Chain A
Amino acid sequence: MPLNTQPTLSQKEFRATAERLRVELAELDGIQGVGMELAMLGYDSIRILGSPGSEPLIFEVDKKANILLKVSCSPSTGPMADCIGVAVRSLIERMEGERREELLLEELGSNWESLDAIYEISADVLRYADVETALERLINRFTSLQEGMRTALFLTRSGRLKPIAGDATDTLDWVDLGGLEKPVGEGRAIVVSHITAETAPTGLAPWAWAQQVAAAPVTARLKVIGFLAAWRNDHNFEFDAPFSRLLEAITHQASMLLESDRLKRTMRENERWAQEIEIASSIQQSLLFGDPPTGLARFDMASFSAASQRIDGDFHDFLRHSNECVDVLVGDVMGKGIAAALLGAATKNQFLRAIASLAIQANTGAPSPEAIVNRAALGVVDQLIQLERFVTLCYARFDVGRSLLEFVDCGHTGILLYRKQTGETTFLRGEDLPIGIMPKFSCQQQSHRMMPGDTYLLFSDGVTETRNPAGDLFGEERLVECVVNWSSLGADILVDQIRKHAAAFGENRPQADDFTCIAVTIRVDEGPPPVAVWHEEFRCDLEELERMRRWMAAAATGVPSGGLGDVGCGQLELACTELFVNCIAHGDTGLCGGPIRMTATVYQNHMNVELRHDGIAFDPLSVPPPSFDGSRDGGFGTYIVFHCADELSYNRVGDTNVISISIIRKH
Chain B
Amino acid sequence: MHLTIETMSIEKAGEVSVVLVPGKALDASNSKDFKAGIAPLLTPGAKIVLDLSGLDFVDSSGLGAMVSSLRQISGVGGDLKLCALKKPVRALIELVRMHRVFEIYNTREEALAAFSK
Residues of A that sit less than 8 Å from B by CB: 542-543, 545-546, 549, 566-567, 570, 573-574, 577-578, 581, 584, 626, 628-634, 636-637, 639-640, 643-644
Kindly list chain A residues whose C-beta atoms are within 8 Å of the C-beta of B97.
628
Q: Could you tell me the distance in whole angstroms from the C-beta of A470 to the nearest C-beta in chain B?
A: 25
Cβ A636 vs Cβ B64 within 8 A? yes
Q: How far is the CA of A584 from the CA of B92 in the complex (A)?
A: 22
Cβ A578 vs Cβ B60 within 8 A? yes
Cβ A636 vs Cβ B91 within 8 A? no
Whether A542 contacts B92 in the complex (CB less than 8 A), given A629-B101, A630-B71, A640-B60, comes out as no
- Chain B interfacial residues counted at CB < 8 A: 25
Cβ B67 vs Cβ A637 within 8 A? no
B100 within 8 A of A: yes
Q: How far is the CA of A577 from the CA of B57 in the complex (A)?
A: 10
B7 within 8 A of A: no
Q: How far is the CA of A578 from the CA of B58 in the complex (A)?
A: 11
15 A-B pairs with CB atoms under 8 Å apart are A545-B25, A566-B87, A574-B59, A577-B57, A577-B59, A581-B28, A628-B98, A628-B100, A629-B100, A630-B70, A633-B67, A636-B60, A637-B61, A640-B96, A643-B95
Q: Could you tell me the distance in whole angstroms from the C-beta of A585 to the nearest C-beta in chain B?
A: 9
For A584, give the chain B residue with the smallest CB separation.
B28
For A629, give the chain B residue with the smallest CB separation.
B101
Q: How far is the CA of A584 from the CA of B98 in the complex (A)?
A: 26
Kindly list chain A residues whose C-beta atoms are within 8 Å of the C-beta of B63.
633, 636
For A640, give the chain B residue with the smallest CB separation.
B60
Kindly list chain B residues whose C-beta atoms are within 8 Å of the C-beta of A626.
96
B29 within 8 A of A: yes
Q: Could you tell me the distance in whole angstroms from the C-beta of B36 to the nearest C-beta in chain A?
A: 15
For A573, give the chain B residue with the smallest CB separation.
B57
Contact of B60 among A549, A570, A637 (CB under 8 A): A637
B112 within 8 A of A: no
Q: How far is the CA of A578 from the CA of B101 in the complex (A)?
A: 22
Residue of A549, A628, A630, A633 with most chain B CB atoms under a 10 A cut-off? A633
Kindly list chain B residues whose C-beta atoms are within 8 Å of the C-beta of A543.
29
Q: Could you tell me the distance in whole angstroms from the C-beta of A357 to the nearest C-beta in chain B?
A: 50
B65 within 8 A of A: yes
Whether A640 contacts B29 in the complex (CB less than 8 A), given A581-B59, A633-B64, comes out as no
Whether A577 contacts B27 in the complex (CB less than 8 A), given A633-B65, A636-B64, A637-B60, comes out as yes
Kindly list chain B residues whose C-beta atoms are within 8 Å of the C-beta of A573.
57, 88
Q: Could you tell me the distance in whole angstroms from the C-beta of A7 to the nearest C-beta in chain B?
A: 94
Kindly list chain A residues whose C-beta atoms are within 8 Å of the C-beta of B106.
none
Cβ A545 vs Cβ B27 within 8 A? yes
B68 within 8 A of A: yes
For B63, give the chain A residue with the smallest CB separation.
A636
For B67, give the chain A residue with the smallest CB separation.
A633
Residue of A567, A634, A636 with most chain B CB atoms under a 10 A cut-off? A636
Kindly list chain B residues whose C-beta atoms are within 8 Å of the C-beta of A545.
25, 27-29
For B1, give the chain A residue with the smallest CB separation.
A546
9 closest Cβ pairs, A-B complex? A633-B64, A630-B101, A636-B60, A633-B67, A542-B29, A633-B68, A570-B88, A637-B60, A581-B28
Contact of A634 among B25, B29, B57, B64 (CB under 8 A): B64
For A545, give the chain B residue with the smallest CB separation.
B29
Q: Could you tell me the distance in whole angstroms from the C-beta of A552 to the nearest C-beta in chain B?
A: 11
Kindly list chain A residues whose C-beta atoms are within 8 Å of the C-beta of B65.
633
For B89, give the chain A residue with the smallest CB separation.
A570
Q: Could you tell me the distance in whole angstroms from the C-beta of B48 to the nearest C-beta in chain A?
A: 15
In the complex, chain B residues 51-75 whose Cβ is within 8 Å of any chain A Cβ: 57, 59-61, 63-65, 67-68, 70-71
Q: How far is the CA of A185 from the CA of B67 in the complex (A)?
A: 80
Kindly list chain B residues whose C-beta atoms are within 8 Å of the C-beta of A574.
57, 59, 88, 92
Q: How far is the CA of A566 from the CA of B97 in the complex (A)?
A: 20
Q: Could you tell me the distance in whole angstroms from the C-beta of A327 to the nearest C-beta in chain B?
A: 35
Kindly list chain B residues whose C-beta atoms are within 8 Å of the C-beta of A542.
28-29
Q: How far is the CA of A578 from the CA of B64 in the complex (A)?
A: 13
Kindly list chain A residues whose C-beta atoms are within 8 Å of the C-beta of B68.
633
Q: How far is the CA of A542 from the CA of B92 in the complex (A)?
A: 20
Q: Could you tell me the distance in whole angstroms from the C-beta of B66 to the nearest C-beta in chain A?
A: 8
In the complex, chain B residues 71-107 whose Cβ is within 8 Å of any chain A Cβ: 71, 87-88, 91-92, 95-98, 100-101
Cβ B96 vs Cβ A636 within 8 A? yes
Q: How far is the CA of A631 from the CA of B64 in the complex (A)?
A: 10
Contact of B96 among A546, A628, A631 (CB under 8 A): A628
Kindly list chain B residues whose C-beta atoms are within 8 Å of the C-beta of A578.
59-60
Kindly list chain B residues whose C-beta atoms are within 8 Å of the C-beta of A637.
59-61
Q: How far is the CA of A567 from the CA of B92 in the complex (A)?
A: 11
Q: How far is the CA of A566 from the CA of B88 in the complex (A)?
A: 9
Q: How far is the CA of A573 from the CA of B24 in the complex (A)?
A: 14
Contact of B71 among A567, A577, A631, A643 (CB under 8 A): A631
For A585, give the chain B residue with the smallest CB separation.
B28
Q: How far is the CA of A573 from the CA of B57 in the complex (A)?
A: 9
Cβ A567 vs Cβ B91 within 8 A? yes
Kindly list chain A residues whose C-beta atoms are within 8 Å of the C-beta of B59.
574, 577-578, 581, 637, 640
Kindly list chain A residues whose C-beta atoms are within 8 Å of the C-beta of B101.
628-630
- Besides A573-B57, A628-B101, 5 new A-B residue pairs in contact (Cβ under 8 A), listed by A number: A574-B59, A578-B59, A633-B63, A640-B96, A644-B95
Kindly list chain B residues whose C-beta atoms are within 8 Å of the C-beta of A643.
95
For A628, give the chain B residue with the smallest CB separation.
B97
Q: Could you tell me the distance in whole angstroms from the C-beta of A220 to the nearest C-beta in chain B?
A: 64
